[in-house]
Chain A
Amino acid sequence: MSEQQSEKKWDLVIEPPRGWFQLRLNDVWRYRDLIMLFVRRDFVAVYKQTILGPLWHVIQPLLTTLMFTVVFGKIAGLPTDGNPEFLFYMAGTTVWNYFANCLTRTSNTFTANASMFGKVYFPRMAVPVSVVISQLISFAIQFAFFLFMYALFWLKGAALHPNRMILLLPLLLMLMGGLGLGFGIIISSLTTKYRDLQVLVAFGVQLWMYATPVIFPLSSMMDKNYRWLFLCNPMTSIIEAFRYGFFGSGILSWTLLGYTTLFTVILLALGAMVFNRVERTFMDTV
């Protein structure tokens, strides 16, 4: 009895890693100031000593979109559901970029921060969470630019059909952030042991884009043998739903969105478990 009472008074018990379910999410919340400072650091530091600064957030997707318009629109002649090619590709890349950046920039959490993690304790999850948030800022800039171009096309009389499915955007962002984070932290946990995964990530994300209806509508793939590939891909429904909201074309499937949501939740839970397990002892293997 008295034994139990004195046990309760300890503020912290340091133990060997046991079990998979010590997530300690309240710890992450306690360090929210740190997360915001990481966000600020990532955002401020990257563009110091560059001439164009944050303009790069716009230039990168703009150039990609232009390239896609020329290569896939003009040369390859892929269908765009009757939407202006430029806007169609821009919608795809803006959304895809958020997911892809979340994934690649969280996938090296442990290896890139080893020197810091080796010296001081803070919940390691603060780092990937801050990445997802700072990517959200860069998404906001790109999205604003997309809206600007969208307005231009609208004024020129392009046949766009925005509808209330635009309101799905926050959900879509949460799903993408969750997916990027989930895959990212699982990969970062595995890279503490298998370094070759890191090489795979950059390459894999690129391949993945072609397995997602980013540069073509899902409707053009529905009758092909490999449509299962697109339907299994949790990113498919997100991109399609985004374009549906703004263009009124594409396939908005609640089943697919539900599947993506379930996928994200399971992935995040799994990722958090693996990540927390690894963070306790990874300093011994890096």
Chain B
Amino acid sequence: MSDIAVSIEHVSKSYRLGVIGNGTLREDVQSWWARMRGKTDPNSTLGRHEAIEGQTLWALRDVSLDIRQGEVWGIIGRNGAGKSTLLKILSRVTAPTSGQIKVRGRVASLLEVGTGFHPELTGRENIFLNGAILGMTKVEVRRKLDEIIAFSEIEKFIDTPVKRYSSGMYVRLAFAVAAHLDPEILVVDEVLAVGDAAFQKKCLGKMSAVAHEGRTVLFVSHNMGAVKGLTQKAVWLDHGEICRIGEKNEVLQAYLESAAADSSHEVQTTNLPRKPGMGSATRVQRIQCNAGREVSHGEPLVIRLDVESDLPVHEITCGIGICNMDGSRLLSWDSDVSGIVFDVRPGRCVIELRVPTLNLQPSSYMLDVALRSGEHYFDYIAGAMRMLVLPGPQTPPSIVRGDGQVRSRGEWKMTDERIG
């Protein structure tokens, strides 16, 4: 009983959707005055009273969870499942509608790095400010100042106003402050998806160091790899309710399987955000994997791109990249690697990539697509589609829990070497 660090008891949170009140004082006073005289509210729309009932959104519904000291929990679920709401309540940014959370120990929450950074202040001044916002005292910050500056790797610019920093430097400094909080309980939202790959690795390293120091950590992420690598236990939220709770591997697998059931591997890309100039004359319109059906490890994968062009273009190379959920590229297929370029005529055409055996570890990935001619890009869409790879019929169950991102087949052989 006494080693419970966070006890979440029947926590619910509701939001009222749509308009709250009438938005201006005049109309609220009008409504109030009308109600006082027993007249109908001049600002109410017909049937609004019933509508309000229907407009209550339960972001969390009766969530209970006991977290013991030193445990590292991952919170997973789809967008809108209530993960962020739970973190916000834990961080005291907003209050629950009912239920309560009891906490033993100091809580620090990182819903964002660099909260309260002021562009005009220097790096050093911002360390103090940000540290104080996160709950450190001046003495604590001063004690750790050298460590923070060293971790951020920007010693040279520490007395420069942060508005002159590159975004990478900014994030480094911000994470460095956050990484040196000394809480007993750490609540983290997906702040790891920042900075370059090397710095991300450093952040993950710091996170797992924190986890191994016996601190209690709650971690929300879409990055299944990070959840898998860092946590021991996981809770899966769906529509504000706990769907599954327990050891991370069981929960993760159940989550991935369910996500597969309703993910369609087809996406219209015409209106997806691109960099300026991309996708103007020649563009990818639609991406489809395995005709919209499931994608499995060890099975064939067919990616179909519907391309439209206003002009004739010669010798187009088509590129498809597979990225981690944190955006780092794992694998690229470029048609010119296979010695193939396409001549595109005005109008529509379909380009298809067929991979006989997909060797990706069962997990979620993002797809990048590109149309280029040499170094000149006609279209490039990063993170155009989310692809979920399921365990295939020949996938041994044990690998689903393993590490690594590529699971390749090979020819194996054993030779007995008997002496004599």
Contact = CB atoms under 8 A, between A and B. Distances in A.
A45 B15 CA distance: 37
A38 B120 CA distance: 13
Contacts of B133: 34, 116, 120, 122
A12, A45, A117 — most chain B CB neighbours (10 Å): A12
Contact of B25 (A11, A13, A17, A196): A196
B312 interface: no
B134 to A, nearest CB: 6
Contacts of A37: 128-129, 132, 138
Interface in B319-366: none
Given A41-B129, A44-B120, A116-B133, A11 B106 contact: yes
B90 to A, nearest CB: 7
A120 B93 CA distance: 6
Nearest to B100: A15
B40 to A, nearest CB: 22
Nearest to A7: B102
A11 B115 contact: no
B200 interface: no
A11 B104 contact: yes
B120 A49 contact: yes
A41 B107 contact: no
A217 B104 CA distance: 59
Contacts of A45: 118, 120-121
A284 interface: yes
A116 B115 contact: yes
Contacts of B278: none
B261 interface: no
Contacts of A33: 132, 137-138
B242 interface: no
Interface string B19-44: 01101111010000000000000000
A283 interface: yes
Contacts of A193: 20-21, 23
B97 interface: yes
Given A197-B25, A284-B15, A15 B95 contact: yes
A48 interface: yes
Given A34-B132, A194-B23, A120 B115 contact: yes
A120 B106 contact: no
Given A14-B92, A16-B96, A119 B20 contact: no
A193 B24 CA distance: 8
Nearest to A47: B120
Nearest to A190: B25
A197 B28 CA distance: 13
Contacts of B107: 12
B103 A13 contact: yes
Interface string B134-162: 11011000000000000000000000010
B204 interface: no
Contacts of B125: 40-41, 44
B112 interface: yes
A164 B134 CA distance: 46
B282 interface: no
B244 interface: no
B97 A16 contact: yes
B116 A116 contact: yes
Given A14-B90, A37-B128, A41-B121, A280 B95 contact: yes
Contacts of A34: 132-133
Interface in A30-54: 31, 33-34, 37-38, 40-41, 44-45, 48-49
Given A119-B111, A122-B135, A10 B102 contact: yes
B89 to A, nearest CB: 6
A49 B163 CA distance: 12
Given A13-B102, A196-B25, A44 B121 contact: yes
Interface string A102-121: 00000000000000111111
Contacts of A12: 102-103, 107
A74 B66 CA distance: 75
Contacts of B91: 120-121
B180 to A, nearest CB: 15
B132 A285 contact: no
A10 B24 contact: no
Contacts of A280: 94-95
A281 interface: yes
B98 interface: yes
Nearest to A117: B93
B109 interface: yes
27 contacts: A10-B102, A11-B103, A13-B100, A13-B102, A13-B103, A14-B92, A14-B103, A16-B96, A33-B137, A37-B129, A41-B118, A44-B120, A48-B120, A116-B116, A120-B112, A120-B116, A120-B133, A120-B134, A121-B92, A121-B109, A122-B133, A122-B135, A194-B25, A196-B25, A197-B25, A283-B88, A284-B94
Shortest 9 CB-CB distances between A and B: which pairs?
Answer: A121-B92, A34-B132, A280-B95, A14-B101, A45-B120, A12-B103, A10-B102, A194-B25, A119-B112
Given A14-B89, A45-B118, A48-B161, 9 more contacts: A9-B104, A17-B95, A44-B121, A48-B120, A116-B115, A120-B91, A121-B91, A194-B23, A283-B88
Interface of A: 6, 9-17, 31, 33-34, 37-38, 40-41, 44-45, 48-49, 116-122, 190, 193-197, 280-281, 283-285
